[in-house]
Chains A and B, each alone.
Chain A
């Protein structure tokens, strides 16, 4: 009998602080698997965000640093420019990448930095207690939109991946999801592509991952997955954007 599934070497053997059913653990593992498969563990440098994944460096078994809230792609730019032989990626939530860090995100993408951005879209601010994010859906209840997001007051959900796809220097943008095993495997393929692009010096790549937050969506883990499938993908369709 052969072991056909076990923890990747790039993921430390520790219990994470994430809530039950949180997508961050899944996304961490997929990145770790890809880094093992591409054999770049000794070359990779991750930039962790501010958000629930703020201590991702305690979970990954490779070099990591930490950026101020929203600034991961600016920090990633600097690291890649001084160490062009390293593989640099940022890991950021929607509050980090698409609210406080919109500026850094758009300009790093527009400069066509040869780095990889992994964007975890859970439509909410997890770490601070479930406030509205730019990606919160219309009608979605959060701590700061108790009656649901209203377009008259909070505007439309921000489709940052689509915006970035319009920039000529952006080479690869794909939106994937973690809501079932098939989609999880597709997410892994997209992450691998985004890292391969950097290895091949192709330029800026971003993978947006729709990810569950059962705690602040106030759902069971299973319900959160079906909410992504039935509701979130209507606003954020799964597809290769560029």
Chain B
């Protein structure tokens, strides 16, 4: 199953990844990073396609994609 990793310390919570994921596999998180930003989370069992659209649109290069 393809998956992504999110660098939570670099995430600024812009949610662009959430807006483009065709499977809704990323969600606005609930936890804060050291900078006080609520970072996004990859949903467990989120049916990721490995399309990398989230990584392509991430302005902060926080996402790595494995397929």
Q: A4-B50, A225-B16 are in contact. Are A16 and B60 (CB under 8 A)?
A: yes
Report how far A24 CA is from B61 CA in the complex, Å.
12
Measured between alpha carbons, how far is A30 from B2 in the docked complex, in Å? 23
Residues in B neighbouring A22, C-beta threshold 8 A? 59
A23 on the B face (CB < 8 A): yes
A220, closest chain B residue (CB)? B15
Question: Are A181 and B10 within 8 A (Cβ)?
Answer: no
* 24 CB < 8 A contacts A-B: A1-B3, A3-B65, A3-B66, A4-B50, A5-B52, A6-B64, A6-B65, A11-B61, A16-B60, A19-B12, A20-B12, A20-B59, A21-B12, A23-B59, A24-B59, A25-B59, A26-B57, A29-B59, A180-B20, A181-B56, A184-B56, A184-B57, A222-B16, A222-B19
Tell me if A15 is interfacial: C-beta within 8 Å of chain B. yes
Nearest chain-B residue to A23 (Cβ)? B59
Decide: A21 near B20, CB < 8 A? Known: A2-B66, A29-B61, A180-B57.
no
On chain A, the residues within 8 Å of B56 by CB distance are 5, 181, 184-185
> Could you say which of B2, B14, B52, B64 contacts A221, with CB atoms under 8 Å apart?
B14
Q: Chain A residue with minimal CB distance to B51?
A: A181
In angstroms, Cα B16 to Cα A181, docked, is 10
Q: Which residue of B lies closest to A27 (CB)?
A: B59
Contact among A15, A24, A222 with B15 in the assembled complex (CB-CB below 8 Å): A222
Inter-chain residue pair count (beta carbon < 8 A): 73
Q: A7 contacts which chain B residues (CB < 8 A)?
A: 61, 64
B25 CB-CB contact with A under 8 Å: no
Chain B interface, DSSP helix/strand/loop, else mixed: loop
| Chain A 202-242 residues near chain B, CB threshold 8 A | 214, 220-222, 225
Task: Report B-chain residues with C-beta under 8 Å of the C-beta of A156.
Answer: none
Chain A residues touching B, range: 20 to 34
Q: Once the chains are docked, how many angstroms separate the CA of A135 from the CA of B20? A: 28
For chain B, the bracket of interface size reads 20 to 34
The answer to whether A25 and B67 have CB atoms under 8 Å apart is no
> Which B residues lie at the A interface, using CB under 8 A?
2-3, 9-10, 12-16, 19-20, 35, 37, 50, 52-53, 55-57, 59-61, 63-67
> Do B57 and A181 touch (CB < 8 A)?
yes
Give the contacting residue for B9; candidates A2, A4, A15, A24; CB below 8 A: A15
* Smallest CB gap from A1: residue in B: B66
A24 to B60, CA, bound (A): 9
How far is it, in angstroms, between the C-alpha of A67 and the C-alpha of B2 when the chains are bound?
44
